[in-house]
Amino acid sequence: MQSLEMSSSTPISEDDTDRGTEGESTSTRNAITLDEMLSLHVGENGKAQLRHFLLSSMAWVPAVMLTLMSVFTERTPEWRCTSDDNTLCGIGGNVTDICSLGDDDWEWESKSASVVSEWDLVCNDAWKVTFADSMFFVGFFFGAGLLGQLADIKGRWVAMYMSLAIAATGAAASAASLGYWQYLIFKLPIGFGCGGVGVASFVLSTEPLGAKWRAFLGIATQYWWASGICFMSGVAAIVTEWRTLTFFFVFLTGTYAIFSSPLVKESPRWLLISGEVEKAHAILTTYAKVNDKTLPPEGLPPLVSILETPSSALK
């Protein structure tokens, strides 16, 4: 009671009120949004962001290899008719309907060329090829949703590299499969991981950019997808055995992850939203130095917390 009375009886001068108001307004005025920070101090599309963009969006290359490798690993390779009966094989052995021949009347040019030739997935077993593709997209469906949520909860960096690890592990296991049903099971984690790569890579590569650059370079990420298709087509023309081709794509995925992960930083926008303002501030300071920006003597101004920023300022 005594302290309350003393408190209530202590006069507050107008100067004290003015100083308090001035301090609050100065603090509020100095704190800026992330987009303002990029525009005023860091740069919206400097060397640091471009390097980050190229490294993080390059994840689309291993993603396309692991997604579309079934075009080559599940193809129907060349085969030849081995019967001496000309009524079956015709002149030169050019019969076109493999299912019209007996099991002893034909053979694969290369048994290890694809899963189709290795496990004879033709005729009555041809449905198993499309079933394996369906299993991949079941995994893709759940991966896009769950790993997309992971990108919001644990960060874009974590989600992208975890997605690559899951997809590459599934692909390696599928290449080591002893039979079709094992191969089918491992198609699920391949699809699951691939479903998360695109979501996490896209936001990780574009969020450090200024507002006017995000849409433009966001579309440019698809050039990596197209480049990956061209590259894997050339590789598949040389590496014709499906297990070797799959392991090679896994190797390239691992190589990318090992060399890029130390260089790719977490999205400062996600760090700010997650309340890790100091980490976001440190990354932006590094970006500003790499972009040859002149920093204020006292350093970059403070960032506005997500709880204090209107949602429209973060878009």
Give the pLDDT confidence score for residue 2 in this predicted structure. Answer: 42
User: Where are the domains positioned within the chain?
Assistant: 34-71+123-314, 79-112
Contact of 243 with 180, CB cutoff 8 Å: no
Give the pLDDT confidence score for residue 95 in this predicted structure. Answer: 63
User: 303 by DSSP, 3-state: which?
Assistant: strand
Give the pLDDT confidence score for residue 209 in this predicted structure. Answer: 86
How many helices, marked H, and strands, marked E, lie in the chain? 16, 2
Give the pLDDT confidence score for residue 256 in this predicted structure. Answer: 95
Give the pLDDT confidence score for residue 85 in this predicted structure. Answer: 67
Residue 78 has pLDDT above 50, yes or no: yes
Summarised one tens digit per residue, pLDDT across range 97-114 is 777 777 777 888 888 889
CA-based nearest residue to 203, from 218, 183, 187: 218
Q: How confident is the prediction for the chain on average, in pLDDT?
A: 82
Give the pLDDT confidence score for residue 221 in this predicted structure. Answer: 83
Summarised one tens digit per residue, pLDDT across range 194-235 is 999 988 999 999 888 887 887 778 788 888 999 999 999 999
Summarised one tens digit per residue, pLDDT across range 127-167 is 999 999 999 999 999 999 999 999 989 999 999 999 999 99
H/E element holding 108?
strand 106-108
The CATH-assigned architecture of domain 34-71+123-314 is Up-down Bundle (1.20)
Summarised one tens digit per residue, pLDDT across range 249-291 is 999 999 999 999 999 999 888 888 888 888 888 888 888 888 8
Question: Cα–Cα–Cα angle for 248, 194, 163, nearest 5°?
Answer: 90
- Across the range 3-16, mean pLDDT stands at 41
Give the pLDDT confidence score for residue 312 in this predicted structure. Answer: 43
- Look at the pTM and tell me if it is higher than 0.85: no
